[in-house]
Amino acid sequence: MTVGNLKPTVPSPQKSSHFLPQYQWGLVIIAVNIVLLLILRAYCPRELYPWAFGLLFGFVLQRSRFCFAAAFRDVFLIRNTVLTRAVILGLLVASLGFLLLDFLAPGVELISTMGKVHPVGVFTAIGAFMFGVGMVIAGGCASGMLMRMGEGYLMQWVAMIGFLVGSVFGAWHLGWWMDSFISEAPVVYLPNLLGVQGAAVLNFGVLGLLFILALAYESGWKTFSVGVRNASGFIKANPKANPKANPKANPKANPAHTSGEKAAPGGLYRTFLKKPWPYYVGGVLLAVLNVALFALWGIPWSITSGITYFSGWLSSLAGFSPQEWAFFQEEIFWEGHCVLFDYYRSYYMRFPLVYHFMAIIIGAFIAALLAGEYRIRKWRSGRFVVSAILGGLLMGYGARIAL
């Protein structure tokens, strides 16, 4: 309605109308999880650590966009090893952390008894190959799949369906692999063969060599050799390391890195919650969390086992008998604080690693909300749906074969 030349007053839309609700929902979910952790501490203490660390793992994965699939894929597709080197750095930090834990617990076979030391053989290579193919065509590894589920990628939810089905077939068919290959395969534990010092030297040496090779492969062998002889020559030959050639690395050429940006309100928020973290930060934090989880709970970071037990619970609801499958037999595998699978106990609620993979999704969801990045993302076409299901099947089955 207008009166004379007066026009109705229309409130101007706020720029933060889309972002603030997400941020507020993120805070609400954090508060809910704090209450849940207090409940778990009082009534289900063995689920406390997997849930708490699952939230942290999911948060770090989302903020750093850390994906193990891309770490292997990008080497061949775009000759990029940034994420690959971040994975190697994470392995170095985790190895050092586990070595320190072993040193601080003299006389206790901590790693060999509580770590995932399993037989190795041709089945390991076959399962790893299937998992590698699966994670590329599904668009992410197991942890990357959970992280993107928390961000709202529907394709990864479809991939999870394939992963659950593949885990069911892998758990059911593992008995054949046990009889044919695994039962006769050796358990290779390097400290028993080389001693702790020898195993550590070999481990750090191989990882360090891989890091150098990855850096040389990306920058080019000639550029890398020149850089070894002359650091300034390497900077000039490498645009990524040259502030003048790379505006993103030059504070004067990039307005986002000016002193005014640092002094602006909310700078800490943008730094830690809004802007993506560097890959190497994600790799180091994931390694530290892995060591801390093992030190406090006695079990290292594990995802596929929890998904498999969840798929076994779903199988029992569908009328199958997963308690008869080799994977769920306690005398064959003792994954965490597990109990025998039967119809008289809700295994879904009793196996802690089930909580762990679910908490990773929630942690990534919280990180996406706090950054204002959450939204439902549909798949592009039916072909991607088929790719996600097939990739999930290969990952689920391959993970069980490779133990």
Question: Which domain range does residue 90 map to?
Answer: 19-401
Task: Supply the pLDDT for residue 113.
Answer: 67
Instruction: Count Cα atoms within 13 angstroms, Cβ side, for 308.
Output: 30
10-residue mean pLDDT profile of the chain (403 residues): values are 45 46 89 94 87 96 92 89 96 94 73 77 96 92 94 95 96 92 89 89 96 90 55 44 44 39 55 88 96 89 90 87 79 41 47 89 96 90 92 96 91
Give the SS3 label for residue 260.
helix
Domains in the chain, number? 1
The reply to whether 330 falls in a domain is yes
The reply to whether 296 falls in a domain is yes
The reply to whether 28 falls in a domain is yes
In order of 81, 82, 84, 227, 331, the CA distances from 211 in angstroms are 9, 10, 8, 15, 39
Measured CA to CA, the distance from residue 288 to residue 385 in angstroms comes to 35
Task: Supply the pLDDT for residue 253.
Answer: 40
The reply to whether 386 falls in a domain is yes
In order of 178, 301, 335, the CA distances from 304 in angstroms are 19, 10, 11
DSSP symbol at 272: I
The reply to whether 7 falls in a domain is no
Task: Supply the pLDDT for residue 224.
Answer: 55
The reply to whether 366 falls in a domain is yes
The reply to whether 260 falls in a domain is yes
Task: Supply the pLDDT for residue 299.
Answer: 83
Nearest to 292 by CA among 98, 42, 116: 98
Task: Supply the pLDDT for residue 221.
Answer: 60
Task: Supply the pLDDT for residue 350.
Answer: 63
Task: Supply the pLDDT for residue 234.
Answer: 40
In terms of phi and psi (left: phi > 0; alpha: psi -120 to 50; beta: otherwise), the region of 107 is left
The reply to whether 365 falls in a domain is yes
